Structure 1
Amino acid sequence: MLWTAEPDGSVVCALCAHRCRIRPGLRGICGVRENRAGRLVSLVRDRVVSADVDPIEKKPFFHFLPGSLAYSIATVGCNLHCLFCQNWQISQWPREHTGPVPGRPTTPREIVAAARATGSATIAYTYTEPTIFFELALETSRLAAEAGLRNVFVTNGYMTREALDLIGGALHAANVDLKSFSDRYYRRVCGATLRPVLETIEALRAR
């Protein structure tokens, strides 16, 4: 999803602002999107590594359905590598391991059913970075909205406008974790740049 094929067999991913050009057999910066014979494949499309029920305030959202529960999910991987990451065991797993990624096979319908069974008002795509498990988040969010649930992203904001436009219709709130207003800090500590994050915040604010 959101990628283009190149004449030399590489692919260009358009989900996040890195816009990785990935040669055959290799993975992007996130570690969970792989070029297989000229096609970009998500390795976490159905691999949920963490699922829990949190108060919405933990995300944190203080003015969005206060007092409600959020069914929170994540896969391994992240498109940043912040030196201070509190969830580094799962966000940085692909950087430190090879082979198949961990996670329990889970369908979007199962996620929605679990959220409803726990009395959650929302599904939160959180703990790591929802942009890198975009296919799972997109399909789940659409089914959740049809079931009367709300969808929230807890994100680093390092996504493309194409990705935001694609999921925006099913997204009800987002918490963008702005690490700093310093581009140098982003480059040195997070392995990214500041401008795309600010552009995501501006685009979300305009919706």
Structure 2
Amino acid sequence: MAKSGYHHGDLRATILAAAADQIATDGVDSVSLRELARRAGVSHAAPAHHFGDRAGVLTALAVEGYELLAAALTAAGPDFREVAVAYIQFAREHPGHFDVMFRHTLLRADDPRLHAARLASAAALRSGVTAIRPGDLAQQQATQLAAWSLVHGFAALWREGALDNSSLAAGADPETLARRMLATVRFD
């Protein structure tokens, strides 16, 4: 019987998980192929075999992140507030992905999988926003940009620790705080 795959299991997924974990704990600047190989318990050449270089790893991680984000936003349903909370929950649950997804200078911009994954997650976010403010294209785009800025900004503030010990957070968990914030927003 022929042996299929690596003895390690799904090495590609293992390396991506190691990258997400390392980014979440040590930041994106700490990522190197050698360190990912060490974390995964494989030869230092293994990550290069699968991803080519550091940009390849980060691009694959961003693709995975956008796919996870699109699934989370779609599962939240059509209500903008639920989509917004899902976005914030994604950033909390997948900090390594979140931290690399929007760092375009670190990624292979010409990667078709990255482009497709970005479009899918953007469509999922837009679907939650479109019902808020129907209108002409310019109005919808302005509302979508405002909504994305709001939820991404909140998620980034929370992720970066800017709300720690802040009177604005008042000891609330991120979901409760996000719901309170979103209840004050009007898009008309």
Per the shorter chain, which TM-score range?
A: under 0.3
Structure showing the higher helix proportion among its residues: 2
TM-score, L = length of structure 1: 0.23
TM-score, L = length of structure 2: 0.24
Which has the higher Rg, Structure 1 or Structure 2? 2
Structure showing the higher strand proportion among its residues: 1
